[in-house]
Amino acid sequence: MILDGKKLQEKKLLILREKVLKLEKKLTLCVIQVGNDSASCVYVNQKKKMADFVGFNFKYIKLDEDITTSELLSIIEQENNDDEVSGIIVQMPLAKHIDAQLVQNKIKYYKDVDGLSDINVGRLVHNKKCLVSCTPRGILELLEEYNINLSDKHVVIVGRSNLVGKPLASLLLNKDATVTVCHSKTKNLADITSLADILIVAVGKKHFIDASMIKDNAIVIDVGINRENNKLYGDVDFDSVKQKASYITPVPGGVGPMTVVEIGYNLLLAYNLRSEVDE
């Protein structure tokens, strides 16, 4: 069965729009982009479309690629102090000369819509209320929509990035899953992936996982987005793996749409967190 992220996105956006209409103030999402990376431009546009549909204000700050880390931090501080701004995203990746960790931690934790600051990551590990990285959050929402229980599952994650693999492992542990994380130094990878009840792949390599690397009736979540000749491919060889898996996400149309909608839900949560901080 296909895990349809596009269909769930449409459903969740309608629910979110109803929630936003009931708020006393209009929330503002601030997106800061450095440079003109083509993929980043696409992602910024997706965020704007989501914001327009739901009813958020969208504040877009476009900066030259040669901006310094200190200059960028100063701009973030201005947005931190702007009471009209409910959440802030600094679009990744940043130019190599910019310290991305400093930038992520400059955003106040209750405005950190990407959930990448040390405070939010630490709160996630301790299973406290926080803003969670949107892709892992979207994956859990997708599994929940299809009534896939996690508490008795062995989940194997391939990829340990700060954006997906690490926060996803914490989320799954908080849901009582048994979690194995694999990465570039893992030996005998296929021996491990073939044990997974749920296999989640986020490595950025086209068709990295094929049918020989999964067990019968496994659930396969493909986080990869690989562009080749103007076409998108996942990290999973979809055509071969779908014959063996019980559930599988397509690329595009699987995890990607969920990432976008979770930004909106994180903005709403950011607003509520801010209210708690002000109390």
Catalytic residues, by residue number, are: 47, 91, 114
Q: CA 169 → CA 37, 223, 251, distances in Å?
A: 29, 14, 22
The partner residues of 180 in beta bridges, in order of sequence, read 156
* 188: alpha, beta or left? (left if phi > 0; alpha if psi -120 to 50): left
Q: Residue 23 has which token pair?
A: 């708020």
The partner residues of 63 in beta bridges, in order of sequence, read 34
Give the strands of the sheet with 57-63, arranged side by side.
57-63, 28-34, 87-90
Q: Which long-range contacts (CB under 8 A, 24 or more apart) does 42-46 make?
A: 43/91, 44/91, 46/260
Cα dihedral value 227, 250, 162, 15, nearest 10: 120
Q: Rounded to whole angstroms, how far apart are CA atoms 65 and 75? A: 14
Sign of the dihedral through C-alpha 81, 82, 87, 88: negative
Spatial neighbors of 41 by CB under 8 A, at least 6 apart, are 33
Q: Residue 35 has which token pair?
A: 């440079």
